Amino acid sequence: VPSSSSSSEADGLLSAPAAGDGEVSIRIQGGPGDPDTASATAAGASPQDSIEVGSGGATGNGAGDRPYQRYDVHHVARWIEQILPFSLLLLVVFIRQHLQGFFVTIWIAAVMFKSNDILKKQTALKGERKIAMLVGITIIFMVHVFGVYWWYRNDYLLRPLFMVPPKDIPPFWHAIFIIMVNDTMVRQAAMTVKCMLLMYYKNSRGRNYRRQGQMLTLVEYLLLLYRALLPTPVWYRFFLNKEYGSLFSSLTTGLYLTFKLTSVVEKVQSFLSAVKALSRKDVHYGSYATAEQAVAAGDMCAICQEKMHVPVLLRCKHIFCEDCVSEWFERERTCPLCRALVKPADIRSFGDGSTSLFFQLF
C-alpha cells in the first residue's frame, strides 16, 4: 500500500496558490525511480523546479509578439525591395512623357532661386549698389519672363494669368504645370518691380530706408495675395467636370472654392496690415530721439559704433541709428542690448528684398 501510494503521489500534480496576486504555482513531483525525472535530472534540471504562470499571460504574449513583428517588418522590406525597380522604371517613363515640362520647371525654379539671392545681396548693399547693375538685372528678369510666355504662347498659360479659366478641362499634370509656371513667372516679374524700388531708394537713409523696407514688404504681400488667387481658375475648370456627374462636380467645386476663400481672407488681412504699416508716420517700435537724449546716451550707436544718424529711442530707452535698428528689426523683435521685446508681433517683413520660395499649387 505504501508503494502504490508513493507511486500515485509521484505521478500526481500538486497545485497551490502562489504568493503573488492571481498567480498559480505548479510543481511536478516524481519518484526517484521515475524515468522522466531521471532524464530531467540528467539534463541538469532539479525535480523541485517550478513553473510559474502569471495571470493573463502578459509576459508570454509580449515575448511571442516580437517574432511576429520582426516577421512583418521583414516582409514589408522585402515587398519594397521587389517593387522598387518597377517603380523607378515607371518614374523614368513618366519623366520621358513629360520631359520638356520637367526641364522647364527645373530651369525656371533654378533661375528664380538664383534671382532671389541676387536681389537680397543688392538690397544689403544699400548705397553701394550700382544703378547699371540693377538695370541689367531688371532687363534679364523681364526677358526671361517674356521668353517663357512666348515659348508657351499656345499652351493655355495666359488665360489663368488673367484669372480666366482654360477653355478645355486640363489633365491633372497639365494643371499642375500651368500653375507652377505661372506662379514662378509672377514671382520673377515681381522681382523686376523690387529692382526698380532699389534703384529709386539707392541713396536712402533714415526714414527713406525704412520706407524702402515697407515698400518691398507691401509688394511681397500683394504678390502673395495674387498668387493665392492664381490657381483658382485652373482648379475651378478642373473640378467642374460634367463627366463625373453634375452633383459630384458641383460639390467638389464648391468645396474647393470654400477652402480657397479661407486662405484668401488671410492673405487680404496681411496685405491690409502692410498698407497700414506703410501709412504709419511714426516708428512703430519707438520714437525719434531728441539731440539732448542722443548726447545723454553718448551719441554713439552700439550697432555701427559710429555717431548716431537719425537716432531712434526704443521703448526700452536705448537709442540707435534708424538705419541700424531698422535693419535689425527686419530679423529680430528684441532690443540689441537688453533683449527686451520691442517690436510687436506684426506681419513678417520682406524688407531684405527676399521673395517667398514656396509654390502655391492650390
Average pLDDT over residues 165-172: 90
Q: What span, in angstroms and rounded, lies between the C-alpha atoms of 361 and 267?
A: 15
Report the share of the chain in percent with pLDDT over 70. 76
Of 279, 305, 332, which residue sits at a domain end? 279
Domain identity same for 20 and 97: no
Domain identity same for 244 and 297: no
pLDDT score, position 90: 92
Tens of pLDDT, residues 297-346: 888 888 888 888 888 888 888 898 887 888 788 778 888 888 888 876 66
Domain identity same for 234 and 275: yes
pTM over 0.75: no
Nearest to 29 by CA among 19, 40, 20: 40
pLDDT score, position 69: 64
pLDDT score, position 185: 96
Q: What span, in angstroms and rounded, lies between the C-alpha atoms of 163 and 226?
A: 10
Whether 116 contacts 354, CB under 8 Å: yes
Q: What's the structural domain count of the chain?
A: 3
Is residue 180, in this structure, part of any structural domain at all?
Answer: yes
Is residue 357, in this structure, part of any structural domain at all?
Answer: no
Is residue 293, in this structure, part of any structural domain at all?
Answer: yes
Is residue 63, in this structure, part of any structural domain at all?
Answer: no
Is residue 193, in this structure, part of any structural domain at all?
Answer: yes
Q: What span, in angstroms and rounded, lies between the C-alpha atoms of 258 and 239?
A: 13
Domain identity same for 263 and 301: no
Of 263, 279, 295, which residue sits at a domain end? 279
* CATH number of the domain bearing residue 340: 3.30.40.10
Q: What is the DSSP string of 44-95?
A: T--TT-EEEE-GGGHHHHHHHHHHHHHHHHHHHHHHHHHHHHHHHHHHHHHH
- pLDDT of residue 11 exceeding 60, the answer is no
Domain identity same for 127 and 237: yes
Q: In what order do the strands lie in the sheet with 286-288?
A: 286-288, 311-314, 319-321
Cell, residue 217:
514688404
Tens of pLDDT, residues 179-217: 999 999 999 999 999 999 999 887 666 567 778 888 999
DSSP one-letter code for 100: H
Nearest to 225 by CA among 191, 266, 181, 194: 266
Nearest to 195 by CA among 131, 106, 149, 151: 131
Averaged confidence pLDDT in the chain: 80
Is residue 72, in this structure, part of any structural domain at all?
Answer: no
Domain identity same for 124 and 158: yes
Tens of pLDDT, residues 17-65: 444 454 455 555 444 444 444 444 444 444 444 444 444 444 445 555 5
Which domain does 31 fall in, by range?
Answer: 2-58
78 Rama class: left (phi>0) / alpha (psi -120 to 50) / beta: alpha
Domain identity same for 259 and 313: no
pLDDT score, position 68: 59
Is residue 79, in this structure, part of any structural domain at all?
Answer: no
Is residue 158, in this structure, part of any structural domain at all?
Answer: yes
Domain identity same for 264 and 311: no
Of 279, 304, 326, which residue sits at a domain end? 279
Element (H, E) at 286: strand 286-288
Whether 159 contacts 242, CB under 8 Å: no
Nearest to 191 by CA among 32, 13, 357: 357
Q: Phi/psi of residue 144, each to 5°?
A: -65, -45
